[in-house]
Amino acid sequence: MRLLTHNMLSSNIKGVTNGFPLRIEVEKVVEKEVDLNMDFLRNMFAKIEWKALVEASRTMGYSELPDDAESSMLDSDEFLRKFHHALLELHLEEGALVCPETGRKFPVNKGIPNMLLHEDEV
């Protein structure tokens, strides 16, 4: 799972109101190189929850993103490369996503989070 996916996903347990962002527990991170698409990054920047991305990438061992970012930074190639790397090249391969409100763990195996709920969570 890439951090772009993580950035849009909330805990889906019934009754949880602050389910975003899911905390990440890392057992294994994989990096896969992809081509940088500048227009895509510009578009995504407006949609991304920046703080959640910064925190998630740090948990995954990548601490190059600045705490705050604004759209003027998209003119910098260096910034774009870092943003691109954090958003699209880091994969959580093994670990868990943790509901920030209840602490419930959603396991991640082979890169796939299991967000299925138990009967009493629906």
Partner 1 sequence: MKLKQLEGLLGSLQQFETPKIELEQYPTGPHIASRLLYTIPSFSIIQAENSFGDVSDKVVADFGCGCGTLGLAAGLLGAEHVIGFDIDAESIEIASLNADELELDMDFIQCDIRNLRLSDRAIDTVVMNPPFGTRKKGADMDFLSMALKVASGAVYSLHKTTTRDHIKRTALREYNASSAEVLSELRFDVPQLYKFHKKKEVDVAVDLWRFVPNNNRPKHL
Find where tokens 């993580």 sit.
6
| b/e per residue 54-67 (b: at least 16 CB within 10 A) | bbbbebbebeebee
Q: Does 19 bind partner 1 (CB under 8 A)?
A: yes
Q: Does 1 bind partner 1 (CB under 8 A)?
A: yes
| Contact assessment for residue 24 and residue 98, using Cβ atoms and an 8 Å cutoff | yes
Q: How far is the CB of 113 from partner 1 (least distance, A)?
A: 5
- 81 in helix, strand or coil? helix
Q: Return the number of the residue (65 or 88) whose C-beta is nearest partner 1.
A: 88
Q: Which residue in 15, 68, 71, 116 binds partner 1 (CB under 8 A)?
A: 116
Q: Which residue in 27, 66, 77, 112 binds partner 1 (CB under 8 A)?
A: 112
Q: Does 30 bind partner 1 (CB under 8 A)?
A: no
| Phi, psi torsion values for 37, nearest 5 degrees | -115, 100
Q: Does 31 bind partner 1 (CB under 8 A)?
A: no
